[in-house]
Amino acid sequence: MPISVIDWTQDGVNILDQTRLPDEEVWVEVRTVEAMVEAIQSLRVRGAPLIGVAAAMGLAQTAGLRAAEGDLTREWVEAAAKELEHARPTAVDVKWTLTRMYDAAVSAYESKASGDAVAEALRDMAERIWQEEIDMCRAIGDAGAELVPSGATILTHCNTGALATGGLGTAAAVIFVAHERGLGVDVVATETRPLRQGARLTAWELAKAGVPTRVIVDSAAASLMAAGEIDLVITGADRIAANGDAANKIGTYALAVLAKAHGIPFYIAAPRSTFDHDLASGDEIPIEQRAATELPTAPGAEVYNPAFDVTPAELIEGIMTDRGVLRAPYGEAIRALGRGMSETR
Ligand code: MRU
């Protein structure tokens, strides 16, 4: 059972504030589109699939409040969806969810629905999107766990569990299912500089589930691999291009290169909502640059602080999805996967 990280309230959306974890479990109620954009940008709510779910829920709730005041228009839905979509640039799931939300509103308007009925259609769609993420996470876990050898030590990066998806997770789902199946796995979780999603969030989630976990600084991965202590690497992704190049938290590319150098299989785990069929390769994936304040240094020194990097497809042994494990050549496998959530409309 995944931990609870997001929920509806009477007038808004409650999110577990991830900036306060693991020290405090504080829930914050978000009641406007602007507040949801702030929550996404400040990483109170984060992780590619969960950003999409949170944005959809925030849009639905704000639409409900506007409908109650007789002030819900198609133009407002379009502008709010755009604002939420652009809160952070790299993860693509939010684009899929908001396209579906906007399409749901348009079809309600076209059938001459009242404002309240449009808001209801938005809420139904947000519920459906969230449920689909939950289902896809479980399917990723089931497919991925088939590739996990008994007693394996799995290295993972950043946070990919409930806190990143609203369901069981992506890479974390594979770990949880392997643990559930009694495979006796243990995990090496990278700290994940600079905001420490691994040390703060992954360690918290895995400890709650009773999965044996060691946290390392990012730069300790090479020596552990050289010592033969890592059997496989599994990370999530924020956007996967049509050729299989995958953007994920900064440092993922380094882990993939290291895994290759040590003959260790490197896997990506992601739902169909994370594939961007419109981008030919990873070169086209927009990479978010974060504020210099996240990397304290001496006055006068410049800071380079990208949130993500791109792992080329040739370094990826397989992509664990909710529709099974994709293997190279990825272009073909990704085309066969279909255009993801847009197809389920
Ligand atoms: O900046 P974050 O914390 O949102 O980055 C999250 C990641 O990089 C995850 O690995 C990614 O969203 C995929 S896992 C659901």
Which residue numbers are catalytic? 238
pLDDT tens-digit map of 55-78: 999 999 999 999 999 999 999 999
pLDDT of amino acid 1: 64
Does the C-beta of 237 come closer than 6 Å to ligand 1? yes
pLDDT of amino acid 330: 98
Instruction: Give CA–CA dist 104/126, Å, rounded.
Output: 10
Distance from the CA of 125 to the center of ligand 1, in angstroms?
Answer: 23
Does the C-beta of 90 come closer than 6 Å to ligand 1? no
Q: How would residue 242 be classed by pLDDT, with cut points 50, 70 and 90?
A: very high
Pocket test for ligand 1, best of 197, 202, 311 (most atoms within 8 A of CB): 197
Does the C-beta of 88 come closer than 6 Å to ligand 1? no
Q: What is the pTM of this model?
A: 0.96
- Residue that has been written with the tokens 């974390």 in this structure: 172
pLDDT tens-digit map of 321-335: 999 999 999 999 999
Does the C-beta of 18 come closer than 6 Å to ligand 1? no
Q: How would residue 338 be classed by pLDDT, with cut points 50, 70 and 90?
A: confident
Which are the contacts of 202, defined by CB distance < 8 A and separation ≥ 6? Answer: 156, 158, 159, 160, 161, 172, 187, 189, 192, 213
Which are the contacts of 217, defined by CB distance < 8 A and separation ≥ 6? Answer: 190, 191, 193
Residue minimizing CA distance to atom 6 of ligand 1:
47
Distance from the CA of 106 to the center of ligand 1, in angstroms?
Answer: 31
Report percent pLDDT > 90 for the chain.
97
DSSP string, 122-170: HHHHHHHHHHHHHHHHHHHHHHHHTTPPTT-EEEE-S--SHHHHSSS-S
- Residue that has been written with the tokens 């691994």 in this structure: 198
Mean pLDDT of all residues in 130-144:
97
Pocket test for ligand 1, best of 5, 40, 249, 272 (most atoms within 8 A of CB): 249
Query: Rg (Cα) of the chain, in Å, rounded?
Result: 20
pLDDT tens-digit map of 283-312: 999 999 999 999 999 999 999 999 999 999
- Residue that has been written with the tokens 């202590």 in this structure: 229
Which are the contacts of 166, defined by CB distance < 8 A and separation ≥ 6? Answer: 2, 5, 6, 49, 50, 53, 54, 130, 133, 134
Distance from the CA of 227 to the center of ligand 1, in angstroms?
Answer: 28
Q: Which tokens is 158 given?
A: 């950043």
pLDDT tens-digit map of 245-256: 999 999 999 999
Does the C-beta of 164 come closer than 6 Å to ligand 1? yes
Of 190, 187, 188, 185, give the one whose Cα is nearest residue 152: 185
pLDDT tens-digit map of 91-104: 999 999 999 999 99
150-163 burial code (b ≥16 CB/10 A, e <16)? eebbbbbbbbbbbb
Half-sphere exposure of 284 (CA within 13 A, CB side): 12
Angle 190-196-199 (CA atoms, 0-180°, nearest 5)? 55
> Is residue 343 pLDDT above 80, yes or no?
no
- Cβ(78)–Cβ(323) under 8 Å? no
Sign of CA dihedral 313, 315, 320, 324: positive
Q: How would residue 345 be classed by pLDDT, with cut points 50, 70 and 90?
A: very low
> Is residue 50 pLDDT above 80, yes or no?
yes
pLDDT of amino acid 308: 98
> Is residue 314 pLDDT above 90, yes or no?
yes
Distance from the CA of 134 to the center of ligand 1, in angstroms?
Answer: 16
Does the C-beta of 238 come closer than 6 Å to ligand 1? yes
Task: Decide the pairing of beta strands 232-235 and 266-269.
Answer: parallel
pLDDT of amino acid 2: 74
pLDDT of amino acid 340: 57
On average, the pLDDT of the chain sits at 96
Q: Of ligand 1's atoms, which has the minimum distance to the CA of residue 195?
A: 3
Q: How would residue 342 be classed by pLDDT, with cut points 50, 70 and 90?
A: very low
